[in-house]
Amino acid sequence: MRRREAFRLAASGSAAGLLGARAAGADARVERALRGLSSPKITDVRAIATAPAGLRLVVVKVTTDQDGLYGYGCATFTQRADLVPPAVDRYLKPFLVGKPADRIEDTWQALYASSYWRNGPVLNNAISGVDMALWDIKGRQAGMPVYQLLGGKAREAADCYGHASGSEIAEVLDNARALVARGFRHVRVQVGVPGMAGYGSRRGEGPVAALHSAPVFEPAAYMRRALQLLEAARKELGDEVELLHDVHERISPTQALAFCKDAERFRLFFLEDPVSPEDIGWFRLIRQQCATPLAMGELFNSPHEWVPLIAERLIDFIRVHVSQAGGLTPCRKMAALAEHFGVKTAWHGPGDVSPVGHACNITLDVACANFGIQESSSFNEATREVFSGCPELRGGYFYANEAPGWGIEVDERAAAKYPFGHGETGERKRLNGGWGEIRRRDGTIIKQ
């Protein structure tokens, strides 16, 4: 008999229900449910490393002493992926084995405090893997999707934005129209700069003289090109399509202020990462001088970064990478804080988030009142081979799974077919999955 049915019978107190269960040959699990199930204990914690789409994903599996009760969590830190499994296997596992699996808040606080030095991406992602896995276990115990454990749905699905990019403006617009035809109402647009290494787009044609051999990026050239794109996109796509753009922190704070002001006339849904996390104090000046909606946060690790921006209403969208912040537990608190200050959520959701991480994003999206938008991502055939139950994207909406927990299972044999390094080429292969360098013409390094 299913665990959920056992709880229903136990809660009903109905003599007829109890007699019916016994008459049907209820097994030992039903009897245990009638007495109250014992707290499941953690017996194993393991990191699963795989790269079915050529991007390094880490998923943590937490196993309990109750037969068939386990859960999965996302711990993906793609640029330094090899560091997370040892943090899980050598530090978190010995700390956790034997502890109860149902005390999620207490476990998160203990893991967070146990290292003394905290708020770093390696430890936060490792903690996230455990945290999400414990929520998965809790949902499987209850026979409910995780969003039900957070109070149920506040909306039917999560409205998403798609990515339209290209080396030329015309190509970007064609790709944007294709997304609109698929049902997207929100489109992020990115265009290349001739001869330069842009973000989220292919490099345009044309030579660029430089004092080095690394890829080149010049902020002023990028700004001119991006404004031309936004002007064309607003004119060609009309007012019904919501436009987004990612600066990716590649320009100076003063340039960011000017760019935000210049972009105001294009009525963006949001402008993302106009400055780097090191320069978040500049949001006070930007907010005072223009009305462009601002999104920030995918590199954030610490409450010291997101709390001031939210509490001072300096941004419109908090855009944190959930595993980078430590999992569902801290991010639902972040969303609740943001709700009080009129800040909406826009969780980071690129290809280097595992399907488990996307399921967590969508859970927050449908359960939190102050949802804003969700970045969409597609899952290739190999990813679906490894992760059954990938979230479904239809008509520009992501839908939460209705199965218990995250509704996702991981095929570890399939995962082993796609080890770290699978599909990597060039600099990414040479740098063990990491990013290379981008410099200005004179050799100055560019943040990315």
Question: What Å distances lie between residue 110 and 65, 119, 440, CA to CA?
Answer: 21, 14, 44
Closest CA to 404 of 17, 210, 186, 145: 145
163, 245, 248, 321: the catalytic one is: 248
Three-state DSSP at 132 gives helix
Q: Cα separation of 56 and 84, whole Å? A: 11
With tokens 């402008």, the residue in question is 271
**Pairing state between β 186-191 and 387-388:** unpaired
Give the H or E element holding residue 264: none
Q: Cα separation of 63 and 391, whole Å? A: 23
Q: Both tokens of residue 388?
A: 């059954």
Q: Both tokens of residue 132?
A: 């999400």
Closest CA to 267 of 248, 249, 240: 240
Q: Cα separation of 278 and 281, whole Å? A: 8
- Position 54, amino acid: G
With tokens 């290209």, the residue in question is 166
Is 200 buried (19+), middle (13-18) or exposed (0-12) by CB count in 10 A?
Answer: middle
Strand partners of residue 57? 50
Question: What Å distances lie between residue 290 and 40, 111, 223, 234, 287, CA to CA?
Answer: 53, 41, 17, 19, 6
Active site residue 222: no
- On whether the CB atoms of residues 149 and 400 are closer than 8 A, the answer is no
Q: Cα separation of 173 and 134, whole Å? A: 43
- On whether the CB atoms of residues 116 and 110 are closer than 8 A, the answer is no
Active site residue 199: yes
Q: Cα separation of 74 and 50, whole Å? A: 12
147, 199, 222, 418: the catalytic one is: 199
What sections of 77-120 are H helices per DSSP?
84-86, 93-96, 104-114
- Phi/psi for 48 (5° steps) reads -110, 120
Catalytic residue IDs: 199, 248
